[in-house]
Structure 1
Amino acid sequence: MEIASTPAEIFRMKEAGRGFRNAVRINNGLLGAVEKRLLIWTANRMPAGVNSDHLTVLGLLGMIAAGVCYAGSAGRPWMLLAVNVCLAVNWFGDSLDGTLARVRNRQRPRYGFYVDHIVDVFGALALLTGMALSGRMSPMIAGGVLVAFLFLSIETYLATYTLGEFHLNFGLFGPTELRILLVIGNLFLIHYRMGRAFGRPMLVLDIGGICAMAGMTAMMLWAVAVHTAKLYNEERLG
């Protein structure tokens, strides 16, 4: 990577980067094909006054509201239903913003990629903070899930930069499938706070959090191995 050391070099390198090429988006998740058709159909019917930025903000507010509702569910299990509504709002905004830009040919690849994924980080922080405050997930487990999510996100963003491929899913699961699993889990949580794992009683969300950490760590390590090998072969010396 060339490093700029003077204002003139910075300007030259920025000008050279005007031809930024958007990464190929890959979504082979369980619902990927159906979701794509639904999002395009919805985007074609969105009011002209609604743009991608509005949807991005809506998605973030939906995730923050989900965290608030989780925190409020400590003595009010019915608020878990409100969490599910907020997750649906988050899906609508977060999934549709990019599709709307592509359908209207109003894409801003660098801005869109940067803002979308910074928003994802703050959204994950809000959601997991709400889970920890709810008393339904141990703060240590919530922190571990957040760290695993951030490591997986970092690997994804590095692969997007170096390989030009942005993978939205790992195996059959992408963001939409994970939201659906969380919605189903919340319906279960209304009636059951505790479960049993590793031979002892545990909070149900702790069990889910441990499984999520293990799954994301395994996906991250697998992706690191595959992408490292691919990059090594593409840039083999001599």
Structure 2
Amino acid sequence: MGDFFTSIFGNPAQRTQSFLRGAELRLIDNIVESLPARVEAIQLSGVGACGALVASIALIACNHFPHAIWIVPIAMAINWFGLSVDLPLARKRQQEAAAEGMAHHLGEIFSHLSVLIAYGFSPFFTVRAATVVVICYLLFAAYAYIRAATRHVEQMAYIGIGVTEFRILLAFWPFAAVLLGVPQSLGDKQPAIDVAVLSLAGFAIIGLLAKLFFDGRKITAASGRDD
């Protein structure tokens, strides 16, 4: 019976690896070891959420204060620190509880949604493109949480892109947007950024549907072998 559940749900120790996952885990381990005892996991979750809030404010502020662009990567680094170290710290100290898990996941959702929405009101994106990205994020996040609940896989990555890679993209997109001339094109009737985002979103959703299909077939096949 144990082999059956492992074949369906996977090994709890396994993780879907992103490009930076190995190096990130080593860095997180070093940070956890160096943190003083007075620092608590739930505090780090709050720090991470505050980092995202600062990044969101800076993105919108770029409409009137272009130099605020430099705040974005710093704030997103704080966001990464808080929400990447919180749960590993709780595990190391054997203080895992519902409160720590709830604070972490609420912090993650708040962080991503606040930054994505802020992008829609920044000079680096359109509201339409930001809305499409938010919808895609919610779809992928829902599947990630379902997969975590059923297959006990904590880390989700698609074609090597996980939460950390997504944060890096959010942190440095303003600079890429400036180089690509996105701010100058936002007044166009059909901005190039909208075309690009809609196209990528279409491919991403097709990929997610394919993943759902193949995961469903694996579960069905495993169930059939057990019968």
Decide: shared fold, TM above 0.5.
yes
Q: Does 1:166 align with 2:154?
A: yes
Percent of residue pairs bearing the same amino acid type: 21
Q: Paired residue for 1:223?
A: 211
Q: CA distance change for structure 1 residues 210 and 106 in 2, over 3 Å: closer, same or farther?
A: same
Question: Distance between the aligned counterparts of 2:199 and 2:222, measured in 1?
Answer: 34
Which has the bigger relative contact order, CA under 8 A and spacing at least 6?
2
Partner of residue 18, structure 1: none
**Structure 1: runs of 5+ lacking an equivalent:** 1-21
CA shift digits 1:95-149 (9 cap, x unpaired):
11111112222222x4444432232222222112211111432212211111111
Residue by residue over 1:19-64, the C-alpha shift from the partner in whole angstroms, topping out at 9 and shown as x without a partner, is xxx9546141111111101100110100111111011011111111
Quick one: which of 44, 54, 57 aligns to 2:46? 57
Paired position in structure 1 for 2:87: 98
**1:171-222 per-position Cα deviation (integer Å, ceiling 9, x unaligned):** 211111222233332223345542899xx88657546644653454244223
Alignment of 1:176-191 (within 5 A): 176-191=164-179
Residue number among 134, 137, 153 corresponding to 2:125 in the alignment? 137
| Alignment match, 1:10 | none
Query: Structure 2 regions of 5+ residues with no counterpart?
Result: 1-10
Q: 1:27 to 1:54 in 2, by over 3 A?
A: farther
CA contact (8 A) 2:157 2:163 kept: yes
How far is the alpha carbon of 1:76 from its aligned partner? 2.4
The separation in 2 between residues aligned to 1:208 and 1:59, in whole angstroms, is: 30
Cα distance in 1 for partners of 2:193, 2:31 equals: 33
1:68 is paired with a residue whose SS is helix
Give the secondary-structure state (helix, strand or coil) at the position aligned to 1:26.
coil
Say if 1:208 and 1:71 are closer, same or farther in 2 by CA, change over 3 A: farther
RMSD over aligned Cα, in angstroms? 2.8
Q: How many residues align?
A: 214
TM-score scaled by length of structure 2: 0.81
Over 3 Å counting, the alpha-carbon distance change for 1:183 and 1:126 in structure 2 is closer
* 1:38 counterpart SS class: helix
Q: Which one has a larger percent helix, Structure 1 or Structure 2?
A: 2
User: Counterpart in 1 of 2:105?
Assistant: 117
Matched, 1:157 2:149: no
TM-score, with normalisation over the residues of structure 1?
0.78
The answer to which structure has the higher strand fraction is: 1
Residue 86 (1) aligns with residue 75 (2): yes
CA gap of 1:46–1:207, structure 2 versus 1, over 3 A, is farther
CA distance in structure 1 between the aligned counterparts of 2:119 and 2:139, rounded to whole angstroms: 20
Cα distance in structure 2, aligned partners of 1:79 and 1:224: 40
